[in-house]
Chains A and B, each alone.
Chain A
């Protein structure tokens, strides 16, 4: 019995082995590599050869003048993105559901989730062009109405809002579809019953559609908790410039510049470790809550 079981199972181990080796090398060894944060790491010496310096990197970090600003920017932009990213797609899904004309609905869906598939390199290139204060088309329109041109990507008052709005521009279509799928799943007899009770469209939306969407709203809300330190590296890296570091520099861009541009490997790892650990806690809590309240399981 034992033997035949082994005979049945060993091909399964063998199948999973190549993937397992890759994940161990490229995911787990870097996790162990986080100990660099407690070293004065020099690539030529490696982890084993570099000097251990305890918490010096963290002390150095706390003395950096802009570290709190970076942390604040990250949380501020990420939380704004989460909130706007809930309100806009839910509203759009409810409004889109009111459209009876199926082909028009399909057309709108096709249009609004196109940007989702383009990379931030492409979208960044487009935005830098159209938002340019000199000859960008958006500012031409603003000037045509007699207002001063706005430097969306170069003004610290505007940059975070531009980031949140353009992120919505890219992602709203994707999220709208998810909520729309939830609305389609609502039992139609509930609407019939509401109509019999004399509810108009607005009241039907309030008393049937929204409660029907609630499970998926709660699920996505809890899962988004894991993103509180994710302000979107790809987007910000392609849109920011030294002029807006004050309002737009986030943990990820900071780590990149510190680590790979200035080659302060250990200090950058210390920042990265802070982010990884906090994110682990947040994601674990969010998954646990999603499991508890929405019966969601990842596998």
Chain B
């Protein structure tokens, strides 16, 4: 097909536009990475753009030797493992009964509304905080895991996937003498791996990124997950006091370079799973749109 002059100009402009837009999304991250690898004097002189100037690993050296930083990574990993397992388990055990027809499970609609209503209405910050306090979860790992364990959107996603599975599978399992428990774990779950993986990935990202619960439920800094710790560091003024490092170091590292290093370390796990997220993200959209 022959393109007219106007069309060619439009197409070229379109390509340029999207290249610029892509750069807009990725360059800030590259810039921060470059700053984290530069000396503080180069960074504060404004010499760093997209490539490190006066390359140094001192900022990373500094944050690795900070035990609070290290502790918070451990807390994050713990909440990620415990929280994701718990959420997945609950997601499947809730979605399975709700995926039944009302004929087979008369209370289905009642239960479904009980869960869906939590999307529509909530008690707000203060009562939600109080219940965590009264149930004795403050300053424990459970505070980060239990209140957010049931995610109704994930339940709906899983439920719609379960509903799409052929009824005959379930019937034949029942004929072979399997109960609901076995049918769920031996038939439904293995067949639902795409949506299980989607829910698992998104729950993992949720746990890695969550910071507010850590901030309000944890009193001791040593209990902070990484995101909360980072939030604390990034929005507070100065983290390096001159007594902590000797004066020679100040030319090499500064608040700015060490903050940049911590931003990069905090985003690294997300960048690593990003290719998978992207793949399952499309699946999630497709799954979400297939509704009963």
Interface residues of A (CB under 8 A from B): 8-9, 11-13, 15-16, 18-20, 22-23, 25-34, 36, 43, 46, 92, 95-96, 98-99, 104, 107-115, 117-119, 121-122, 124-130, 135, 137, 140, 169, 173, 177-178, 181, 201, 233-234, 237-238, 252, 255-256, 259-260, 265, 268-269, 272-273, 275-276, 279-280, 283-284, 287, 297-299
Give the interface size bracket for B toward A.
35 or more
What 6 new A-B contacts, CB under 8 Å, besides A33-B126, A95-B17, A109-B278?
A: A9-B104, A18-B90, A114-B29, A140-B46, A272-B124, A298-B119
Are B18 and A108 in contact (CB-based, < 8 A)? yes
Q: Which one of A27, A98, A268, A298 has the greatest number of beta carbons of chain B within 10 Å?
A: A27
Report chain B residues within 8 Å CB of A169.
24-25
| CB–CB B21/A112 < 8 A | yes
Tell me if B53 is interfacial: C-beta within 8 Å of chain A.
no
Interface string of B234-260 (1 = CB under 8 A from A): 110000000000000000000010011
Contact with A along B53-89 (1 / 0, CB 8 A): 0000000000000000000000000000000000000
B15 near A238 (CB under 8 angstroms)? Answer: no
Number of CB contacts from chain A to chain B under 8 A: 251
Q: When the two chains form the complex, which single residue of A27, A46, A117 contacts B122, counting CB atoms closer than 8 Å? A: A27
Query: Would A22 and B150 be within 8 Å (CB), given that A27-B123, A99-B14, A273-B124 are in contact?
Result: yes
Contact between chains at B230 and A121 (CB < 8 Å): yes
Task: List chain B positions with a Cβ less than 8 A from chain A.
Answer: 7, 10-11, 14-15, 17-18, 21-26, 28-29, 31-32, 35, 43-44, 46, 49, 90, 93-94, 96-98, 100, 104-107, 111-112, 114-116, 118-135, 146-147, 149-150, 155-156, 159-160, 179-181, 184, 205, 208-212, 216, 227, 230-231, 234-235, 256, 259-260, 262-263, 266-267, 270-271, 274, 277-278, 281-282, 285-286, 289, 291-292
Q: Identify the interface centre among B44, B146, B263: most chain A CB within 10 Å of its CB.
A: B263
| Shortest distance from the beta carbon of B77 to any chain A beta carbon, whole Å | 16
Q: Verify A129–B93 contact, CB threshold 8 A.
A: no
Residue of B nearest to A255 (CB): B125
Complex Cα gap A117–B181 (Å)? 35
B44 and A135 within 8 A (CB): yes
The minimal Cβ–Cβ distance linking B214 to chain A, given in whole angstroms, is 10
A-B pairs with the 3 shortest C-beta distances?
A30-B123, A272-B124, A33-B127
Report whether B120 and A283 are in contact in the complex, using a CB–CB cutoff of 8 Å.
Answer: yes
- Please pick, from B26, B104, B124, B266, the residue contacting A111 in the complex, using a CB distance under 8 A: B26
With A95-B14, A276-B123 already in contact, the answer to whether A125 and B234 are too (CB < 8 A) is yes
Interface of B is mostly: helix
Which chain A positions have C-beta within 8 A of B286? 181
Contact B267 A137 (CB under 8 A): no
Q: Are A108 and B21 in contact (CB under 8 A)?
A: yes
- B124–A129 touching, CB < 8 Å: no
CB contact under 8 A between A256 and B32, given known A26-B131, A112-B22: no
Query: What are 29 pairs between A and B in contact, CB < 8 Å?
Result: A9-B107, A13-B97, A16-B98, A16-B111, A18-B90, A23-B150, A29-B127, A30-B131, A31-B122, A32-B127, A33-B130, A34-B124, A111-B26, A114-B26, A115-B25, A117-B274, A119-B209, A119-B211, A122-B230, A122-B267, A124-B231, A129-B35, A130-B32, A178-B285, A237-B212, A260-B216, A265-B126, A276-B122, A297-B292
